[in-house]
Chain A
């Protein structure tokens, strides 16, 4: 049981480049989400999904796209990277019973945009 996995661990991009951050979970969780972590700001929700085919915006969605074609995978796309997107990105998953579910986090992807 691998839990939540993220690839790559580290990425350097130039401004304007695009890339996809991968996230996968093997716990059959309905709910998946992406956060970015910046110093002093904690984690902020980018996008989330309550099941395959259903996604919605979080607190800071601009510049990011997501899709959820399977229960297991929830990739995050940066269409045109900007230096403001330099951050550490975490994917998380949980059950979706709305009862204070524990969220399980991946190890993170560290992104540097030059």
Chain B
């Protein structure tokens, strides 16, 4: 069985400051890793994903994440946030075979001016 832990439920951050959202997972098999974003009153959309290869993954809107196999982590970062980055962010893992995803509890990011 897989599990995903997002260590921070809420992260307040000032505009133009950096942000890091932490994600740890556990799995006994190879996994794919995802970050999805949910803007207020909308569905989820993909920010980025790690399938294989380079452990540093770049996504949309200036976000990037680093896969660390030894620490079973997939932390998300952005060097300078905008007001429009206010949203809830979800880390998810999927098995290397199949499409089922296991989601973390989510991290609410509130960007303050």
On A, residues with C-beta under 8 Å from B are 4, 31, 33, 35, 40-45, 48, 50, 58, 90, 92, 94, 96, 98-103, 105-108
Contacts and interface: CB of A to CB of B under 8 A. Distances in A.
A45 B43 contact: no
A90 B105 CA distance: 15
Given A31-B99, A48-B100, A101-B99, A4 B51 contact: no
B103 to A, nearest CB: 4
A96 B99 CA distance: 7
Contacts, number: 61
Given A40-B9, A94-B99, A100-B94, 12 more contacts: A40-B106, A42-B6, A42-B103, A43-B44, A45-B100, A48-B100, A96-B99, A100-B34, A100-B49, A100-B51, A102-B49, A103-B99
A71 to B, nearest CB: 15
9 contacts: A41-B105, A42-B106, A43-B44, A43-B90, A43-B92, A48-B100, A98-B98, A102-B49, A103-B101
A101 B32 CA distance: 9
Contacts of B49: 100, 102
